[in-house]
Amino acid sequence: MDPIRNPFSPGAGTPPPELAGRDTILEQARVLLGRIKAGRPEKSLLLTGLRGVGKTVLLNELERVAQGDGYRTILVEAHEGKSLAVLLAPQLRRLLFDLDRIALAGDRVKRGLAVLRSFIGAIKITVGEVDIGLDIEPERGTADSGDLEVDLPEVFVALGEAARERRTSIALLIDEIQYSRAMELSALIMAKHKMQQRQLPVVLVGAGLPILPGLAGESKSYAERLFHFPEIGPLRQADAFRALQEPVKAAGVKFAPDALREIFRMTQGYPYFLQEWGYQAWNQATATPISLQVVQQASALVAERLDENFFRVRFDRLTPAEKLFLRAMSELGSGPYRTSDVAEKLGVQIGKLGPRRAGLIKKGMIYSPAYGDIAFTVPLFDQFMRRALPVFPP
């Protein structure tokens, strides 16, 4: 088939031709946006799931839905090396200037800017990276303590009050939330708590690798009361079939039933893999329906492409010791794994593995689905590890 007309879209955050299997979560978001706008309490959303399941795509879609519903939005991507305050400050400034342009009486927006000004002053001292101009007197004593758990809620409350005064609502969307530090997460949770108590029109939506098991104590119990944690997973068979069939149907082409079943078997319904298989199968096919044989030919190509790109970029960021750790995990099946079993496979004491385990979590390669357990964040990574390092122990 003509590669120019290929409807599939493998890539990071690229919208799929058919957003299959996400109706429940979209409906949940619609209710959340409607309720917060009406000043009613509702739990916010934290979308969690493995690499390539479609979290970023959903977050972008939710931003679009929110804007369609009259919300003003901020979307940021958290980052290993950058503080949340530094990411948020310029966006908050933009938003407050936007609100300032809505001509309605009141002084809450000016106060919002003054509070943001003092917040920026404080993070300048503690972080020293932001340099964004705000030619306004800071409101001394608010949001400038230097303690994010105190300051961030004050900024958000000032922002929420400004939005309410201008009769609008705000959606704050944060991608890759797992890169936020524990203290930043807890500041966000406190901010959400304060806004909920005051029924301010601000919605917080996060997306990222599973974080809840990593939260401790009070933060955790607050988080559970203030957020839903919908798990974004692989697509069920019927949805996976739709994700493949609908896009080609629009071009007058279809997949044969056994071809669909084969793609589902190979991808296990993981959205990123579905796009890759659909993409290559389309290019390989010369006639409709796209047959099982065509899919089987495509599989070899896809496996090669995934190994060279999707898996390899992650593999190349690892130290030899980290690679060995992951290879030992892959010896134990598809997971989750007990750290003690990994230690045994490696023939080292479990106490010695702490730093390596922490390093791999920080790099986003593994996460802890439950206390004492670890798992790969990348679907099918165990199979890749066995291909990449065939001999174990080395």
Query: Would you tell me which residues interact with Mg ion (CB under 5 A)?
Result: 56
Task: Determine, following the binding rule CB under 6 A, whether residue 56 of this chain makes contact with ligand ATP.
Answer: yes
CA-nearest of 60, 67, 63, 65 to 27 is: 65
Q: What is the 3-state secondary structure (H, E, C) of the chain?
A: CCHHHCCCCCCCCCCCCCCCCCHHHHHHHHHHHHHHHCCCCCCEEEEECCCCCCHHHHHHHHHHHHHHCCEEEEEEECECCECHHHHHHHHHHHHHHHHHHCCCCCCHHHHHHHHHHHHHHHHHHHCCCCCCCCCCCCCCCCCCCCCHHHHHHHHHHHHHHHHHHCCCEEEEEEECHHHCCHHHHHHHHHHHHHHHHCCCCEEEEEEECCCHHHCCHHHHHHHHHHEECCECCCCCHHHHHHHHHHHHHCCCCCECHHHHHHHHHHHCCCHHHHHHHHHHHHHHCCCCCECHHHHHHHHHHHHHHHHHHHHHHHHCCCCHHHHHHHHHHHCCCCCCEEHHHHHHHHCCCHHHHHHHHHHHHHCCCEECCCCCEEEECCCCHHHHHHHHCCCCCC
Q: Which does 19 bind (CB under 5 to 8 A by kind): ligand ATP, Mg ion, none?
A: ligand ATP
- Span near ligand ATP by CB under 6 A; candidates 98-106, 190-198, 270-278, 334-342: 270-278
Q: Which is nearer to ligand ATP, 52 or 201 (CB)?
A: 52
Q: Which does 22 bind (CB under 5 to 8 A by kind): ligand ATP, Mg ion, none?
A: ligand ATP
Using CB under 6 A, pick the residue from 112, 153, 271, 379 that binds ligand ATP.
Answer: 271
Q: Which is nearer to ligand ATP, 187 or 274 (CB)?
A: 274
Task: Determine, following the binding rule CB under 6 A, whether residue 375 of this chain makes contact with ligand ATP.
Answer: no
User: CB-based burial of residue 174 (10 Å sphere; 0-12 exposed, 13-18 middle, 19+ buried)?
Assistant: buried
Task: Determine, following the binding rule CB under 6 A, whether residue 104 of this chain makes contact with ligand ATP.
Answer: no
CB of 244 to ligand ATP, least distance (A): 9
Q: Which is nearer to ligand ATP, 169 or 275 (CB)?
A: 275
Task: Determine, following the binding rule CB under 6 A, whether residue 54 of this chain makes contact with ligand ATP.
Answer: yes
CB of 205 to Mg ion, least distance (A): 13
Site for ligand ATP in 225-244 (CB under 6 A): 243
Q: Which is nearer to Mg ion, 56 or 280 (CB)?
A: 56
CB of 230 to ligand ATP, least distance (A): 13
Task: Determine, following the binding rule CB under 6 A, whether residue 12 of this chain makes contact with ligand ATP.
Answer: yes
CB of 56 to Mg ion, least distance (A): 3
Using CB under 6 A, pick the residue from 195, 200, 203, 274 that binds ligand ATP.
Answer: 274
CB of 285 to ligand ATP, least distance (A): 19
CB of 8 to ligand ATP, least distance (A): 8
Using CB under 6 A, pick the residue from 55, 72, 164, 327 that binds ligand ATP.
Answer: 55
Using CB under 6 A, pick the residue from 16, 112, 160, 379 that binds ligand ATP.
Answer: 16
Task: Determine, following the binding rule CB under 6 A, whether residue 275 of this chain makes contact with ligand ATP.
Answer: yes
Q: Which is nearer to Mg ion, 75 or 251 (CB)?
A: 75
Assign residue 130 a region: left if phi > 0, alpha if psi is -120 to 50, beta otherwise? beta
User: Interface with ligand ATP by CB under 6 A: which residues?
Assistant: 9-16, 19-22, 49, 51-57, 243, 271-272, 274-275
